[in-house]
Structure 1
Amino acid sequence: MSRSLRRGALAATAIVFSIAALSACGAGNDAQTLEVRPDNAAVSVDDVKIQNALVITQPEPGVKGPAAVSATVFNNGRVPQTIDAISLPGTTAVVKLKPAEGTGPITVPAGGSVVIGGAGNASALIENGSEAARDGDAQQVVFKLSKTGDVGLSAFVVPAKSYFKEYGPEVVPAPPGASPTASASPSGEAEHGTEAPASGEPTTAGH
């Protein structure tokens, strides 16, 4: 085998090995927490680890509306921390944080984690998301924690489709003349604004 062919074969082997290693790292228990595809952005600073960070935009290109930051934040320390803010440097984006329950900052318990994005989880809504990020880009995202401080990383920007649909913006703009709809209906409510009957109750017409 010539020297040039040998170098090419070694390079190809290295690329395959790198992809396999990334997949193996992303396929652990942490990846299952967010239930999205592995190999997304991750970073560790002191006791804090942020994994599967994404900026999720509207499902259709060119549609103006909010976007969302989705991630899993781990706290390996002995005291809880709060996520006081999330920012997108280089943009005018305003990120509105909301805990899974109640009001106030998002708390990451000591020795635990919190999921941002998805039904029943905390949320980080980018109000002017259509102006902040474009699909296919890598957007810098900074998480400001109460004790660790700023933790930044580059997150992939993806549309709210396929694996990312359930973690996308809370509100998806409707076609002209229709009302905006939530990306996911609350449990127990049917679509089109009608209430679902209680479990076990008949639905006979005329009653």
Structure 2
Amino acid sequence: MSSSLRRGALAATALVLSIATLSACGAGNSAQTLQVKPDNAATSVGDIKLQNMTVVTQPDMAAGPAVITGQVFNSGSSDQQLKAVTVVGQGTAVKLSPAKGSGPVVVPAHGSVLLGGKGNASAVLSDRGGLKDGQQAQLSFSFQNTGDVRISAFVYPAKSYFKEWGPAGAPSAPASAPAATPSGKPASPSAKPGGSAPAKPSGAAQGKNSPAPTESAQAAH
């Protein structure tokens, strides 16, 4: 085999091995967390590990709910319940919900729970409070056995990549009630747009009120 052919075969083999390695990494248990960017610092206490925690707020600094995204790992031999999540230094309430049904959020033994995103467990702040985009927030996760675990999380608006991970929009204002007449009864609705106007009577029906034909019209007859 010539040297050029040997070099080509070695290059092809290296490419195949690289693709196989990347595929194996993407198939791991934490592959879904690789979607959460940027890769924030992780922290561990006992059997619990927090990774890629991010607070996603309403876009354009608007008031309204915010959500916490990231992944919680449990390397222990027993399940652990996530009892509460708080933003350190703020009184903003955080509502926890499991991926399916109702009840507590439980991190299974030797497993993990993903927070945020469609079909996953959720941690929703009732309001962004004093959180500012681009800064960090101190979060405290309280677990049944491990206790409190704290981590710093970046705050990002629900734009660009984070649009799909962001909170639901603020509820719209309720529709105003119909105006009432002095008698207390609702005013009658106006005519529907696009309704046809009353047809004009024909010349025969108008009788004497019909305009006389012009001289040009008489000449035409």
Distance change (3 Å), C-alpha of 1:70 and 1:102: same
Question: How big is each residue's C-alpha offset from its partner over 1:97-140, in whole Å with a ceiling of 9 and x where there is no partner?
Answer: 111112111010000000010000000110022x1411011100
Q: Which amino acid aligns with 1:57?
A: T
Question: How big is each residue's C-alpha offset from its partner over 1:48-67, in whole Å with a ceiling of 9 and x where there is no partner?
Answer: 11101011100222x11000
Give aligned-pair identity as a percent.
48
Q: Which runs of structure 2 are paired with 1:1-207 in the superposition (5 Å)?
A: 29=28, 32-34=31-33, 35-61=35-61, 63-129=62-128, 131-169=129-167, 171-173=168-170
Q: Which amino acid aligns with 1:173?
A: A
Partner of 1:18: none
8 A contact 1:55–1:69 mirrored in 2: yes
Question: How big is each residue's C-alpha offset from its partner over 1:62-114, in whole Å with a ceiling of 9 and x where there is no partner?
Answer: x1100011110000000000100000011121101111112111010000000
8 A contact 1:56–1:68 mirrored in 2: yes
Q: Distance in 1 between matches of 2:112 and 2:30?
A: 13
Q: Distance in 2 between matches of 1:97 and 1:168?
A: 16
8 A contact 2:47–2:76 mirrored in 1: yes
Give the match's secondary structure for 1:101.
coil
Q: Distance in 1 between matches of 2:161 and 2:65?
A: 18
1:149 deviation in Å?
0.5
8 A contact 1:41–1:156 mirrored in 2: no
8 A contact 1:99–1:122 mirrored in 2: yes
Give the match's secondary structure for 2:60.
coil
Q: Distance in 2 between matches of 1:101 and 1:66?
A: 21
8 A contact 1:99–1:105 mirrored in 2: yes
Distance change (3 Å), C-alpha of 1:159 and 1:87: same
Partner of 1:201: none
Give the match's secondary structure for 1:41.
coil
Runs of 4+ in 1 over 3 A off after TM superposition: 27-32, 174-178
CA RMSD, 1 decimal: 2.1
8 A contact 1:81–1:146 mirrored in 2: yes
Partner of 2:22: none
Q: Distance in 1 between matches of 2:161 and 2:43?
A: 21
Q: Which amino acid aligns with 2:72?
A: V
Q: Which amino acid aligns with 2:45?
A: V
Indicate the structure with greater strand content: 1
Q: Which has the larger radius of gyration?
A: 2
Partner of 1:17: none
Superposition TM-score, scaled by structure 1 size: 0.66
Gaps of 5+ in 2: 1-24, 176-221
